[in-house]
Chain A
Amino acid sequence: MSQAVTIVVVSGDDASKVELETALRPHYPEIPVVDLGGRTVREAGEMPEIAESDFLWFLTPDSRPEPDCLDELLDAIGETESIAAVGPKLICSGRIVSAGVSTTAAGERFNPVGSGEIDQGQRDSQIETLGLDLPGLLMATTELERIGAPSRVLGPAYSGLEYSRRLRDLGARVLLAPRGRMEISAASAARLGSSPHPPRSKSQIRTEQRYRLSLAGQGLVSLFCLLALGHLGRVIGGLLSNNFRPAGWHLGALIGLPADVSTTAPLRRANARRNRVARRSNTGHVAALYADDEELAVQRRTMSGESDDSRPAEVPTGGPDADAELNPVGDTEEAIDSFSRLEISGGSSLLRAPLTYVVLAAVVMSGVISFRLFGPGHLDGGALGSTDIGFGEIVDRLLGRHLDVSTGAAVPADPYHLVLGVLSLLFFGHVDVMVRSLLLAAPILAAITAYAGAGSVLARRWVRGFAALLWIASPLFTAALSDGRLGVILVWICAPLAVLTLRRSLTTGSIAAAAGTGLLLFVITAGIPLLLLVTVLGTAVLLVAGRGLRHLWLLAPTVFLGWPWLWAVVREPGTLLTMPGQTTATESAPTYLLAVGFPAPLDMSWLTKLISDLGFGGVSAGTLELWAPVLMLPMLILAFFTLIEARLELSRLTWAVGLYVGGLILAAIQVHLPAETGPFHLIASYPAAGLTLVSLGSILLLSLGADRTVGRRPGRSRDAGSSSAKSAAKGASAASGRLPMRGLVGLVTVAAIGLIAIGAVRAASSPEAVTATSDGNVPALAADRAAGETQARTLRLDNVDGEVLATLIASADGTVLGTSTVTSAETVGGWPWQRRPLPITSDRVLVAQAASALSADDAGDLGSILGELGVDFVLVGPDAGSLTNSVSVSEGLLPVGPTSSGQLWRVDKPYSGRFLIRDAEGQVSTAAMKGTTATVPAGQEGRTLTIADAAHGITASIDGEPLPQPKPGEEAWASEFDLPAAGGTVEISLNSPLYPIGVIVGWVLGLLSLIVAIPFGRAGNVTRKTGREEQQA
């Protein structure tokens, strides 16, 4: 009985259909081939070939069934009523590819046939599987109306499975007809394996996702979340393990998830309809046919083992392939050396490691310079400021734009504060402990990182130790340690690491190294802002020189983590010239001192005193000025000899000289550019940026010179193999001729130790050093008021050399958080060749008026002017002499008494702090504050809420409606708002609500770059290759 069979092919391409027809004509001459691409089921049903056929045979353009395949299939399908579809064994070059497939309960494809199984009848008994692959599936035509056409959105791996699922959902069976065999192409065969893990291509992830979504019924939402979280987790996992390609695929799948949900919606609807028809609510009918996860894992293991091995495994026989040999011919010593370093180098005692001595010197240096850090209380002084703050204040400062110093300012936090905050996390939020630990550990950390960084350029350990010693002996570093310039200290620790990771990025092309360099450059920019220009310049040069787009990672962390500050820098470029931390008026060093690395002139009066104490008679300070060249003389001579040394590698020499000269020019320019103002000085830019480059360049030069003085270098040089005898001879003569140079290197080491000693003594005698103290900036009474609800301020008057110094102290003044590079830069304006202090703003004029009124006798009632400033207390520093008398005469002050910080007066006014309610007659009262909400009682019309804060961008609103400002055009420094007569609760916000969100988004992206920068995990070479194969298939 001849059944009418129609071959259905979905190719959309006439050429392949014709090819199939041609291929099938010899065996199946009368069977029409129909292309159903693009037609609906109804249209298909109306086609004459379909309408008149009994069975449909689904083929792909590359399928070549065996002559008796169709008969076997027809026999199999005719056996029982319940069989709705049958399919042949799919063969490819003699090996079974697919003979019935299944999935796990989660929906991953499981093909029980491993790759390369020769057909020996082992699959003939297992004929009942969950589904069959679509090529070769024979089905009764009547089913077409019941279940529709195979889905095209699922790939070849899942379309057959899904189609078979439909049949099974209707209660029918899908069977393998083991005696039917069909040949398919290798490309199709490659797609019909089990679901591989890790995934081999993007399409695989997407089709799997679609299959699972198409089967989801009730649990669509939970499946959606599961898939989304799964992809997210794999993205992060991929970044962590440096597999960027699969991470990208999962990211693409995650983004495409909603699209996939909508694409598979028709399938789900149909699925739901069938379930309703069959009155079924679960998948129990197919549960037995699911594969176990263990079975899938076994299949995956066999799959991955084979794909790695592009050639069949062979026993190494010493044949022509040299790589297969166990013992390669070559540098035996190197091989043995790399195999077991411990046995060859002999004597791995710690005393023979130069790092030990450098760390020892660093420990001694740290002890001598920073011994004053031990003590109760908190740190204060120098360029550091008081560390008496809590972690919550740091977070508040980072997430908001309001800086509570003096009359208030709206500036973003410096990246310096972010670095401090992150470092404090390591110490559970104790800023003080963190700063102390950092200052004490800094020389040791800097020595270790310098040793590691020098390893990327120099090979010999003693030279690396020499470089590390020079690095920590640098006068800029010792000055920063004693003054508490945390920025310079961070740069000193991170700069050698940045050199290391940058070299790794340039040589190995690793994205992780580029991201790591970017993070380190962010810390460096946080420490010394002017190095941002160097970063930008370097990135631009690297990109223009075509070293790879990954070098954008050099800038990315700075942009993510510091975008508010960068935006402020764009508007106020002078910010780059300032240094984070307190403003200290250091004298500018003359250029000859800058050339040898000193940031400020040192006064050697201590040495004069020491010499005269020792009884050697009076030595004038002028003669002692000569110490600088004497100490530096060995270094200058070594540098000179290095420069004229002909055998130095040219690129390294250029780098060293370029860094040194560039840094010197930069430092010289910085020293002549005023950057910020202090009460008594117009302060030049601290030359830290230039001197960092100078140190890098000069230490590189000196180390290269030291490297060359010690004879032949070990076998890492490129011409080691060729003329070993010649270079050995050269080396021997070099060693003998360079013995005086060894003495020079030793002298340089001694000079470096001398530099450390000078830095240590300077730390002991400097008045601006950081010390541990328990005294607060203001007396406790005033400090409580400042931190309390009303946030009242204190006006502090000091008598400095006969002049009155007035400081308005708010809660953050004098602390580590109370500085901003942007506000420091805003006080100086003008073109670089004529920078002058800008005139003070009206709020500062008010402060000066208050101070002059207090310091003059008979100046009238000061309560109003102090109330306008939000000042509750007046403090006169100790040793103020007549100033105390003048203040005591002033009206409107009530004496509180002497405190540890000086004499304290309270301002005699009925209101307190900076949140004031003024009514139309001029009566002032304090607004009751709770956090940032002010409760305003009902009162008369015409009241205004005055916030004595000079920060712009303060808004107040009642019930969400912003309050109007009484004089919108007028430039008053304080913020004023009209209050309704009914009063209410006023919400005061100091910055726009989008700002903290933006900052947190930046932090998340910064965390992402940290994950990218982690250097562990596969480099990703393997997946790249197989991925390409997948995409070709």
Chain B
Amino acid sequence: MKHQRSIVTFTAIAVPGVLVAMTSFLTPLTPGTLDRSPEQVRMPTADTRAVCPGPLLTAGEAEGTDAEFVDDSKVSTRLVSASAPIGAADGSTSSARLQVADLGGSIDFDNPSGQGFVSGDDNIDSTKLVTGFARPGAPALTTGLETVEGSSGDLTGLATLTCAQASSSFRIVAGSGATGSNSQLLLSNPGDVPVQAKVALMTPGGESAEPTELSIKAGQQRAVPLGGLAGGAEALAVDVTVDGGVLAGSVQETILDGLKPQGIDLAAGGAGADRQQVLTGLSGKDARVRVANPSSDLAEVSLKAYGPDGEIDIPRSSMTVVGRGVAEADLGDLDATSLVIESSQRVQAGAFIGKDGEKGAADFGSIPSTDSLAETQILALPRTGESSLNLSPGQGHVQVQGMLDDGTLTDPQSIDLNPTGTTVLNPSDVSEEPVRALVLKGSQASGSQADGVHATLVVSTEDGISTVVPAPAPAGVAYRDIRLG
């Protein structure tokens, strides 16, 4: 060819240049190696077991396997248990058999499977084990809700807790070792063999000391006063690992400011540590957020808050948490706010909201981190005060069904999610009859400012404020993430 040399030279210079410019600099194409999501596996059905800790322990009762409970007639401890109908693999819909028994003791009642069941607001005076029995293909959508309400005395306030399920390791972001606070870690062993537990406390200054080891007999509950382990620490997070079995754990906290009761609270472990945490339902005075950093390196955490109308400014937008420690930030007064906490490391977060009562008294409630709404979850409603269900910003809609006294479910209601702000729903709007529990279906919802949609119920009475989170989706409903190598 006549001009072959020129053509070749031109090609040699131009083609690489154009190719490099186009693919690297001008419009970098997505490279072929990308991260991928894990496989999501739905596990076979298994029983749902939750342990409700029972009445509050007051100061003076040290750890002991047979603690005596103080009977303050002005404090009522009540348990609501519910078993909601759920679709089974063969297409039928039924509710699982529900049993409530003393921990390590006799059975209170055993309700067979049917078309839904809600118990009354029963008074309890000991630790209770709430078991939902799943059948193959039919998960057990059950929950137990403990309400502690004090109207006078030191224990004035409201504490509600969705009873915690047993696991072999969990972290509770609650408790304090400051003066005036009486925090107790309650560990219950629902199994048949004694277990060894290792309790490690994370404080603002890092890990407090060597982890405490203790053993808990089968069917027993032990209380560990946290003040003794981390005296003086303003904020705490409790890390529990279990050897040889599973434990259900909760932290009970009562605060006294001199003679003025400053509130009671029951907290349990939330969703595990992750690079992104979402807390919703921050609706009250003096909201605080507490972040626990389980890794050994320093964690930089960023905060973003979304009110009912969109993103709002908060006094703190970032925090630094020491390794193996916690940090707390004050966020002022908030209303129906969702908080998105992001960090480069895995952290676990919890929040606290407060309410002023009469004569200088106050109450506070803790909000644990939650997993994003699964296909079906159940939330028992406390039979006191006013509740409002807060949903974090998202797209799509959440389906809500109310459970009536006879156990039946109302027609599903679609709640459209607000993509930039928190969605608030009053459970009493679901039906004209009193609604005792909510069944939340989040398969059509996805998060917009964060991964997934999260839900928390805020309950406030005259004297108290507390929160309730939905029970984790039962085995056979939720997906677990597994990486296959």
A643 touches B13 (CB 8 A): yes
Among B12, B13, B44, the one with the most A-chain Cβ atoms within 10 Å of its Cβ is B12
Across the interface, which residues of A come within 8 angstroms of B30, CB to CB? 672
B32 touches A672 (CB 8 A): yes
Q: Specify which of A588, A657, A665, A844 is in contact with B12 (CB 8 Å cutoff).
A: A657
Known: A805-B483, A885-B241. A588 touches B15 (CB 8 A): no
B33 touches A585 (CB 8 A): yes
Nearest-Cβ distance from residue A693 to partner chain B, whole angstroms? 13
**Counting CB contacts under 8 A, is B273 at the interface?**
yes
Question: Could you tell me which residues of chain A, from 860 to 888, have a CB within 8 Å of some CB in chain B?
Answer: 860, 865, 881-882, 885-886, 888
A849 touches B34 (CB 8 A): no
A857 touches B167 (CB 8 A): yes
Nearest-Cβ distance from residue B272 to partner chain A, whole angstroms? 8
**Counting CB contacts under 8 A, is A308 at the interface?**
no
B482 touches A806 (CB 8 A): yes
Q: Specify which of A643, A844, A849, A856 is in contact with B9 (CB 8 Å cutoff).
A: A643
**Chain A residue with the shortest CB-CB distance to B247:** A857
Binds B, one of A680-688, A707-715, A721-729, A1006-1014: A680-688
Nearest-Cβ distance from residue B200 to partner chain A, whole angstroms? 12
Q: Specify which of B31, B49, B480 is in contact with A671 (CB 8 Å cutoff).
A: B31
Nearest-Cβ distance from residue B10 to partner chain A, whole angstroms? 9
**Counting CB contacts under 8 A, is A216 at the interface?**
no
**Counting CB contacts under 8 A, is B46 at the interface?**
yes
**CA–CA, A660 to B241, complex, Å?**
59
**CA–CA, A701 to B19, complex, Å?**
19
Nearest-Cβ distance from residue B87 to partner chain A, whole angstroms? 20
A684 touches B33 (CB 8 A): yes
**CA–CA, A853 to B476, complex, Å?**
11
A650 touches B482 (CB 8 A): no
Nearest-Cβ distance from residue B82 to partner chain A, whole angstroms? 20
**Counting CB contacts under 8 A, is B259 at the interface?**
no
**CA–CA, A208 to B46, complex, Å?**
87
Known: A672-B31, A684-B32, A802-B273. A858 touches B24 (CB 8 A): no
A588 touches B482 (CB 8 A): no
**Counting CB contacts under 8 A, is B11 at the interface?**
yes
B36 touches A681 (CB 8 A): yes
B15 touches A668 (CB 8 A): no
Question: Could you tell me which residues of chain A, from 581 to 601, have a CB within 8 Å of some CB in chain B?
Answer: 585-588, 590-592, 595
Q: Specify which of B19, B346, B482 is in contact with A665 (CB 8 Å cutoff).
A: B19
**CA–CA, A855 to B11, complex, Å?**
58
**CA–CA, A853 to B15, complex, Å?**
54
Known: A661-B11, A840-B484. A803 touches B33 (CB 8 A): no
A660 touches B485 (CB 8 A): no
**Counting CB contacts under 8 A, is B39 at the interface?**
yes
Nearest-Cβ distance from residue B478 to partner chain A, whole angstroms? 10
**Counting CB contacts under 8 A, is B445 at the interface?**
no
**Counting CB contacts under 8 A, is B258 at the interface?**
no
Known: A664-B16, A882-B168, A882-B241. A889 touches B246 (CB 8 A): yes
Across the interface, which residues of B come within 8 angstroms of A851, CB to CB? 41, 482, 484
B36 touches A837 (CB 8 A): yes
Nearest-Cβ distance from residue A586 to partner chain B, whole angstroms? 7
**Counting CB contacts under 8 A, is B243 at the interface?**
yes
Known: A650-B8, A661-B11. A857 touches B246 (CB 8 A): yes
Nearest-Cβ distance from residue A409 to partner chain B, whole angstroms? 14
Known: A590-B28, A657-B8, A849-B44. A680 touches B35 (CB 8 A): yes
**CA–CA, A840 to B243, complex, Å?**
34
Question: Could you tell me which residues of chain B, from 21 to 50, have a CB within 8 Å of some CB in chain A?
Answer: 23-25, 28-36, 38-39, 41-44, 46-47, 49
**Counting CB contacts under 8 A, is A958 at the interface?**
no
**CA–CA, A673 to B31, complex, Å?**
8
**Counting CB contacts under 8 A, is B354 at the interface?**
no
Nearest-Cβ distance from residue A467 to partner chain B, whole angstroms? 18
**Counting CB contacts under 8 A, is A823 at the interface?**
no
Nearest-Cβ distance from residue B476 to partner chain A, whole angstroms? 10
Across the interface, which residues of A come within 8 angstroms of B272, CB to CB? 802
**Counting CB contacts under 8 A, is A480 at the interface?**
no
Known: A643-B9, A665-B19, A806-B482. A857 touches B166 (CB 8 A): yes
Interface size of B by CB at 8 A reads: 54
B34 touches A674 (CB 8 A): yes
Across the interface, which residues of B come within 8 angstroms of A685, CB to CB? 32
Across the interface, which residues of A come within 8 angstroms of B167, CB to CB? 857-858, 886
1/0 per residue A154-195: CB within 8 Å of B? 000000000000000000000000000000000000000000
Known: A845-B41, A886-B168. A681 touches B34 (CB 8 A): yes
B31 touches A684 (CB 8 A): yes
1/0 per residue B36-70: CB within 8 Å of A? 10110111101101000000000000000000000
B36 touches A888 (CB 8 A): no
**Counting CB contacts under 8 A, is B359 at the interface?**
no
Q: Specify which of A595, A800, A853, A886 is in contact with B169 (CB 8 Å cutoff).
A: A886
1/0 per residue B420-447: CB within 8 Å of A? 0000000000000000000000000000
**Counting CB contacts under 8 A, is A277 at the interface?**
no
**CA–CA, A595 to B18, complex, Å?**
11
Nearest-Cβ distance from residue B18 to partner chain A, whole angstroms? 10
**CA–CA, A859 to B169, complex, Å?**
15
Across the interface, which residues of A come within 8 angstroms of B110, CB to CB? none
A657 touches B11 (CB 8 A): yes
Across the interface, which residues of B come within 8 angstroms of A792, CB to CB? none
**Counting CB contacts under 8 A, is B4 at the interface?**
yes
**Chain B residue with the shortest CB-CB distance to A809:** B485
**CA–CA, A668 to B246, complex, Å?**
53
Among B34, B41, B166, B481, the one with the most A-chain Cβ atoms within 10 Å of its Cβ is B41
**Counting CB contacts under 8 A, is B256 at the interface?**
no
**Counting CB contacts under 8 A, is B89 at the interface?**
no
Nearest-Cβ distance from residue B103 to partner chain A, whole angstroms? 16
**Counting CB contacts under 8 A, is A675 at the interface?**
yes
Known: A840-B39, A858-B47, A885-B243. A806 touches B273 (CB 8 A): no
**CA–CA, A679 to B166, complex, Å?**
30
A661 touches B32 (CB 8 A): no
**Chain A residue with the shortest CB-CB distance to B198:** A885
Across the interface, which residues of B come within 8 angstroms of A644, CB to CB? 9
B36 touches A682 (CB 8 A): yes
1/0 per residue B88-101: CB within 8 Å of A? 00000000000000
**Counting CB contacts under 8 A, is A735 at the interface?**
no
**Counting CB contacts under 8 A, is A774 at the interface?**
no
**Counting CB contacts under 8 A, is A283 at the interface?**
no
**CA–CA, A393 to B49, complex, Å?**
50
Across the interface, which residues of A come within 8 angstroms of B475, CB to CB? 856, 858-859
Among B36, B274, B346, B475, the one with the most A-chain Cβ atoms within 10 Å of its Cβ is B36
**Counting CB contacts under 8 A, is B242 at the interface?**
yes
Across the interface, which residues of A come within 8 angstroms of B9, CB to CB? 643-644, 653, 657
B482 touches A848 (CB 8 A): yes
Question: Could you tell me which residues of chain A, from 291 to 311, have a CB within 8 Å of some CB in chain B?
Answer: none
Known: A806-B483, A845-B41. A858 touches B49 (CB 8 A): yes
**Counting CB contacts under 8 A, is B249 at the interface?**
no
Closest 8 CB pairs of A and B: A684-B32, A588-B31, A852-B480, A807-B485, A882-B169, A885-B168, A657-B12, A848-B41
Q: Which A residues are closer than 8 A to B by beta carbons?
A: 585-588, 590-592, 595, 640, 643-644, 646, 650, 653-654, 657, 660-661, 664-665, 668, 670-675, 677-685, 701, 798, 800, 802-807, 837, 840, 844-845, 847-849, 851-853, 855-860, 865, 881-882, 885-886, 888-889
Besides A856-B43, A856-B475, A858-B167, 7 new A-B residue pairs in contact (Cβ under 8 A), listed by A number: A650-B8, A657-B9, A664-B19, A679-B485, A800-B483, A848-B39, A856-B480
What are 15 A-B interface contacts by the 8 Å CB criterion?
Answer: A588-B33, A592-B25, A643-B12, A644-B9, A657-B12, A670-B32, A671-B32, A672-B31, A679-B484, A680-B35, A804-B482, A848-B41, A848-B484, A859-B43, A889-B244
Q: Which B residues are closer than 8 A to A by beta carbons?
A: 4-5, 8-9, 11-13, 15-16, 19-20, 23-25, 28-36, 38-39, 41-44, 46-47, 49, 165-169, 241-246, 272-274, 346, 475, 480-485
